Amino acid sequence: MDVIVGGGVVGLSVAWRLARAGRQVTVVDPAPGRGASYAAAGMLAPVSEVTYTEAPLLRLGVASLRRWPAFAAELTEDAGLAGSKPGEDRDAGPGAGAGRASPGSGAGIGLAGDGAAGGDPLALDLRSEGTLDVAFGADDLAALDELAAFMDKLGLPVERLTGRECRRLEPMLAPSVRGGLLAPGDAWVDPRRVTAALLTALERRGAEVVRARVTELLREGDRVTGVRLAPPEPYGTGNGGTGNGWTGNGGGHGGGHGEVRPGARTETGACTTAGARTGSRAATGAETRAETSADIRAERVILTAGAWSGELAEVPVRPVKGQIMRLRSPQPLLSRCVRGTVHGSSVYLVPRGDGELVVGATQEEMGFDTRVTAGGLYELLRDARELVPGITELEVADVVAGLRPGTPDNLPVIGPSGTPGLTFATGHHRGGVLLAPLTTAILLGEEGELAALCSPERFQGIS
């Protein structure tokens, strides 16, 4: 049996693909689907996020983006989402609709012609209108010119646009926008829908999701043989305001949900006896159980615990704080992702099909601090307003702060560790949603060439 420690988009994707391959899997996480994936914007944007020093990460992102259509089709089929209706409530559970379908879906370097028969990827709000990176001044325009030349050398599709052409594509852009760069191959997806679908697909495949904290890895000699679980905390204790996980106003889900640090109480706060079923489904759809202190034996433990991975094994992963907000309007304000640099900081706006607009994100080296701060939200709104002035009229639907799992070289750590029985799939930083399909392919042995870029062997002393 494989035990997957961590129930974010990476961990759930790995578990689902292994279950599809006939493996017995158990996912252990105190709040599945409520971590970094819950707060993520869901940008599938390897092209627009490229920097001069991250060519290896670009290769990983482009390869994973090409896998997304088949990944989405198979997932929605397994989750029974083929008949989803656009415009349904996005928080209605795993079967919620995707919002309106938009023209041009399937275009671009990654999504064209790579789909697969099966479910309906629109149920995940998978869209492919591209990313528009805009500039305000001469320095910004020069930077975009350099970026365009760099991407052209790499053979990546981009289009240089004037300010007028940018506003023709997105009429709500500020009049001060002087030019832009369109990456037509970029796409995006709703991570909350993805994790909900993964939990449903796992349930339909007979996999188990245990809502508990892993306190340590079990070892026999030099081999990892399983995990030890902590008992649930008494009702009403929880992790409170300690900042040990995702926090926010809940956006209608109840306050304080998110990446609760392992050991926090479950979503309802209820405790159960050892091994007992909770008697209800989690909000994300999968039937789960809560455990008292117990051991789970495994042939292999796959560590997908994100920013918390370093607490269980010697792996160079650190938390990188990000604050993000979601705004809501009756009609979509934008038709594609828009990003730019304002006051020296990068800001992006990601539209959902149901009218929601995701604005993000700060990048802060603050350890495990997950407080939502007035300063962080002010900076997001200030910078986003420079791009699209009309956002100040939108309703605030949700605010959240969370922890990305960063590594020294910004590349994920995927593959067997130096310890038998332990495998890593962590350190995806801001690319967990994008890289989920490629991560599963690497672990299943379907992708050999790129696996070396992510190998744990590039770090000394990792185990």
Q: Is 397 exposed, middle or buried (0-12, 13-18, 19+ CB in 10 A)?
A: middle
CA distance 179 to 174: 11
- Cβ atoms of 307 and 404 within 8 Å: the answer is yes
Confidence category of residue 254, pLDDT binned at 50, 70, 90: very low
CA distance 46 to 64: 9
The percent of residues in the chain predicted with pLDDT above 70, rounded, is 78
Place of tokens 């949700």: 398
Q: Mind listing the pLDDT tens digit for each residue in 157-201? A: 899 999 999 999 999 999 999 999 999 999 999 999 999 999 999
Whether 281 shows a pLDDT value over 60: the answer reads no
462 compared with 290, residue with greater pLDDT: 462
Average pLDDT, the chain: 82
Place of tokens 């050892």: 274
357 compared with 258, residue with greater pLDDT: 357
- Cβ atoms of 450 and 438 within 8 Å: the answer is yes
For position 121, what pLDDT does the model report? 74
For position 48, what pLDDT does the model report? 82
**Continuous segment of H or E residues that includes residue 424:** strand 422-426
Place of tokens 């992790």: 239
The amino acid occupying position 351 is P
Confidence category of residue 338, pLDDT binned at 50, 70, 90: very high
- Cβ atoms of 325 and 119 within 8 Å: the answer is no
For position 280, what pLDDT does the model report? 34
Whether 260 shows a pLDDT value over 60: the answer reads no
Confidence category of residue 19, pLDDT binned at 50, 70, 90: very high
Whether 366 shows a pLDDT value over 60: the answer reads yes
Distance, first Cα to last Cα, the chain: 20
For position 103, what pLDDT does the model report? 28
- Of 430, 424, 460, the closest CA to residue 442 belongs to 424
Whether 283 shows a pLDDT value over 70: the answer reads no
CA distance 432 to 413: 11
* Average pLDDT of span 345-352: 92
Relative to beta strand 345-351, strand 277-281 is unpaired
Residues 6+ apart with CB under 8 A from 189: 42, 44, 68, 72, 124, 125, 126, 127, 433
For position 234, what pLDDT does the model report? 60
The token duo for 294 is 């117990």
Whether 261 shows a pLDDT value over 50: the answer reads no
Return the CA Rg of the chain: 21
- Can you give the pTM of this predicted structure? 0.83
Whether 265 shows a pLDDT value over 80: the answer reads no
Confidence category of residue 118, pLDDT binned at 50, 70, 90: low
For position 27, what pLDDT does the model report? 98
Calculate helix-pair angle for 55-78, 9-20, nearest 10 degrees. 60
Q: Mind listing the pLDDT tens digit for each residue in 51-87? A: 777 889 999 999 999 999 999 999 999 999 975 543 4
Write the DSSP symbol of residue 144: H
Confidence category of residue 237, pLDDT binned at 50, 70, 90: very low
For position 235, what pLDDT does the model report? 47
Write the DSSP symbol of residue 364: B
Instruction: Say how many C-beta atoms besides its own lie within 10 A of residue 385's C-beta.
Output: 16
Least confident of 111-115, 205-209, 402-406, 410-414: 111-115
